[in-house]
Amino acid sequence: MEAQAFRISIPQPVLDDLHARLGRTRWPDAIAGSGWNYGVDAAFIRDLVEYWRDTFDWRRQEAALNRFPQFRAETGGFRVHFIHVRQGDGGKKPLLLLHGWPSSFYQMTRIIPLLGGSFDIVVPSLIGYGFSDAARAPGMSVGRMAEIFHRLMTGTLGYRRYAIRGGDLGAGVASQMAQVHPEAVIGTHTGGTYPWVDFEHLPSDLTPAEREFIANVKQWRDQEMAYAMLHATKPQTLACALNDSPAGLAAWIVEKFRRWSDCGGNVETRFTKDELLTTITIYWVTETINSSMRLYYETMRDPGSWGRPAVPQALLMSGKDLFPTPHEWIARQGMPERYTEIDRGGHFLEWEEPALVAGDIIEFFRDRE
């Protein structure tokens, strides 16, 4: 289907309702001086919600987002929202940028100008995120989503072959695209920490770095994975709270931006209040927190096809992500064609270190067609 130009324009009554709800927030109690020990810091979230209510200007952020050429196209039965930046006559190599949770297409807006001279750029909202349609039936896993984005790139936009950069759940979609459509994928550029380990079948010859990695995975599962298990088992229950309370939604999301970014415990060293609230407001005004979390549920039940893809692969690995993943562990699956370790930037690399990521993407894809 032909893509139709799209502009973000949130009805004023939606914003008025948000403002009223922020003013009626019923705050829970908090242990004095506990900071972030129990989850979101009570003082921080109160300050953020107050800023959201009294200072944050959605219309200003909306106008900034609308400076990017945006479209929606019906693909695979869903209206898919995406930014599409063509270079001149569109003769540049196409690059698909895929975000994850709890992010949005907004994460990629810092890196787009740095890539523009080398690529045609396509930045979609994942299905059930932002301004893309949500699934109304079971089964919208990363594998199903991969097919939709392949159709977007080849059918709707007419590209024969394309490159992919993906992070978090977007990396899962990218992997599925490379598995199922290697003839179309020039290569994949991903990275990050993946705390999924089969503890019953660990290798007997783990290196010291790998043993530390396994210990970090266990600690992460014990202390940090509750959110993912809730998404993967009872997303509807959680959604009743988060879709009704903007303060609750902000707390659920901002705690992850603080914990997963390379911010040294102060999230505002990486993201301004306006940037955090633009992301949170996208979730609020589109009412997509439920469908975004459901991706965990569906993918747990339909993980798709996994294995080393028959396409060139690059990994950009930050030691400041959730925790370091040693190259020895990666090598057990077969080392990628390009493997780069960096010492800054967390889980949202395109947002935290856009110049570093852009440079690595450009170098990896420079001579690939």
- SS3 per residue for 149-184: HHHHHHHHCCCCCEEEEECCHHHHHHHHHHHHCCCC
Query: For residue 149, what pLDDT is reported?
Result: 98
How many residues comprise the chain? 369
Measure the CA–CA gap between 341 and 119, rounded to whole angstroms: 24
Measure the CA–CA gap between 127 and 152, rounded to whole angstroms: 12
DSSP β-ladder status, 313-318 and 185-191: parallel
Coil vs helix vs strand at 73: strand
Give strand pairing partners of 5.
71
**pLDDT band at 305; cut points 50, 70, 90:** confident
Active site positions, annotated: 168, 296, 347
Measure the CA–CA gap between 192 and 165, rounded to whole angstroms: 12
Which pLDDT tens digit goes with each residue over 317-330? 999 999 989 999 99
For residue 102, whether the previous peptide bond is cis, meaning omega lies within 30 degrees of 0, is yes
Residues 148-170 as b/e (b if ≥16 CB within 10 A, e otherwise) read bbbbbbbebbebebbbbbbbbbb
Query: For residue 215, what pLDDT is reported?
Result: 96
Output the average pLDDT for the chain: 95
Please give the distance of CA 272 from its chain centroid, rounded to a whole number: 18
Radius of gyration of the chain (CA): 20
Measure the CA–CA gap between 311 and 180, rounded to whole angstroms: 11
What phi and psi values does residue 238 have, to the nearest 5 degrees?
Answer: -65, -35
CATH for 4-365 is: 3.40.50.1820
| Listed residue (32, 55, 51, 50) closest to 42, CA to CA | 32
Question: Are 192 and 179 spatial neighbours (Cβ–Cβ below 8 Å)?
Answer: no
Strands, E, within 175-225: which ranges? 185-191
Checking if the pLDDT of 89 tops 90, the result is no
Query: For residue 117, what pLDDT is reported?
Result: 86
Checking if the pLDDT of 260 tops 80, the result is yes
Measure the CA–CA gap between 170 and 168, rounded to whole angstroms: 5
29-33, 109-113, 197-201: lowest mean pLDDT where?
197-201
Query: For residue 307, what pLDDT is reported?
Result: 73
Backbone conformation region of residue 90, classed left if phi is above 0, alpha if psi is from -120 to 50, else beta: left
Query: For residue 90, what pLDDT is reported?
Result: 64
Structure token digits, residue 119: 């690529």
203-207, 213-217, 303-307: lowest mean pLDDT where?
303-307
Backbone conformation region of residue 323, classed left if phi is above 0, alpha if psi is from -120 to 50, else beta: beta
Which pLDDT tens digit goes with each residue over 117-157? 899 999 999 999 999 999 999 999 999 999 999 999 999 99
Looking up tokens 């939709």, which residue turns up? 148
Checking if the pLDDT of 299 tops 70, the result is yes
Measure the CA–CA gap between 277 and 64, rounded to whole angstroms: 14
Measure the CA–CA gap between 208 and 204, rounded to whole angstroms: 12
Which has more pLDDT, 63 or 367?
A: 63
Which has more pLDDT, 323 or 184?
A: 184
Checking if the pLDDT of 205 tops 70, the result is yes
51-60, 79-88, 185-194, 299-308: lowest mean pLDDT where?
299-308
Coil vs helix vs strand at 321: coil
Query: For residue 344, what pLDDT is reported?
Result: 96
Give strand pairing partners of 314.
189, 338
Question: Are 82 and 71 spatial neighbours (Cβ–Cβ below 8 Å)?
Answer: yes
